[in-house]
Amino acid sequence: MLDLPELKVVKPSDTRWLSHERCVKAVKASYSAIVTALNNIYEQTHAPEALGISKALCRPSTLVAIYLLDYVLPQVAKLSRALQTERIDVTAITPLVDATLNTLDDAMLPAANWVLELMDAKNEIEEVTDITLTTESIATFQGQVAEPFIRMLKANISSRFISQDIVSSFGIFDPKKVPAADSSDFHTYGEDLIDVLLAHYGAELPAKTAGGDESTKEALISRETREEWKTFRSYLSKKPKGNLHLQLKDLTTSDMLSEIFPNISTLANICLSIPVSTASVERSFSKMKLIKTRIRNRIGQSQLSYLMKIAMETSETLSSTQLNDIITVWNKKPRRIAV
């Protein structure tokens, strides 16, 4: 396809499911060219594979499915890519999921974008195939195929985020969301969400006073955490407005804040350790495969650990100051070659 990456029909992979989006997009963009090429191949070589693929592509259901998937897959891919970022804001998960589900609902509208695109390409398609597209046939496909497919897809997405309300509750630590101290909402801000966090993570929080049965300890932790939150809420309203990630990091690394707000600090630790996705783990194995190759299979665990940290944690480009620091450390030991 003229060596254009966006027109290259890639092979979909089960382990890299985002490749399905690129495959569908390429097939849709080059649909007429692919059908024409397959027909020419069959006429010249009588290859049964070319005839079989051409017949499959020329079915109305296949064509409509291609346009539907070209609309649906990018929406799901956007959500997937957002969740794979290294520092995702956990409070953004619920809005992202809800927006994706609402966009999928739009695919069922009679005037959905993918339907309009299909009707715009109607003349070009009918020139190379025997397909006759009508508004009625597309509406029938929407009701019999697209609707059950999107309903199952939405159920699958929702089942993966059953705890999103709990995760979103950590948004109370975002300094930008705290009302002004003189507003009417300030004195009740976050109390309902603290209750949500206590109901789920209360057993993980430390009690200042030891002893007592479980119910007494639970009530004590609940009371202490609510008191901590009232003080911490005032602290948030008076400090410069940063972002959520920096505030959580502050709570977990500052000895002073950990001492004053032990339960709030523990909740911050829990939030930072929530595995939103396995993307970072998968990336680390990919990096390890590049570092510990067949030729370097005798590399030690310590050296491998250092190289993995460099590959995973450092930026792609180093400043001149960083390079000079590296050279200084390197030259501290006698070397055969001076740098």
HEC profile of 103-158: HHHHCCCCCCHHHHHHHHCHHHHHHHCCCCCCHHHHHHHHHHHHHHHHHHHHHHHH
* Percent helix, strand and coil across the chain, each to the nearest 5: 70, 0, 30
Token pair belonging to 35: 């059908």
Tens place of pLDDT per residue across the chain (339 aa): 445 555 667 777 766 667 788 888 888 888 888 889 999 999 999 899 999 998 998 888 888 999 999 999 999 988 888 877 766 777 778 888 899 999 999 988 888 899 899 888 888 888 888 888 888 888 888 888 899 999 999 999 988 877 777 888 888 888 888 888 888 888 899 899 999 888 888 888 876 655 556 777 788 888 889 999 999 998 888 877 777 878 888 888 888 888 889 999 999 888 888 776 666 777 788 888 889 888 888 888 888 888 888 887 776 666 777 778 888 887 877 766 665
- Please give the pLDDT value at position 251: 86
Please report the pLDDT score of residue 17 as a whole number.
64
Give the torsion through C-alpha atoms of 227, 230, 234, 236, to 10 deg.
90
* pLDDT at residue 135, as a whole number: 84
- Phi and psi (nearest 5°) for 335? -120, 150
Predicted pLDDT of residue 154: 92
Q: Residue 1's pLDDT is what? A: 45
| Predicted pLDDT at 68 | 93
- pTM (whole model) above 0.85: no
Q: What is the DSSP track for 177-234?
A: GSPPTTSTTGGGTTHHHHHHHHHHHGGGSPPSS--S-HHHHHHHHHHHHHHHHHHHHH
Query: 10 Å Cβ neighbour count for 205?
Result: 22
Rounded Cα gap, residues 94 and 264, in angstroms: 22
Q: How many residues are given for the chain? A: 339
pLDDT at 71: 93
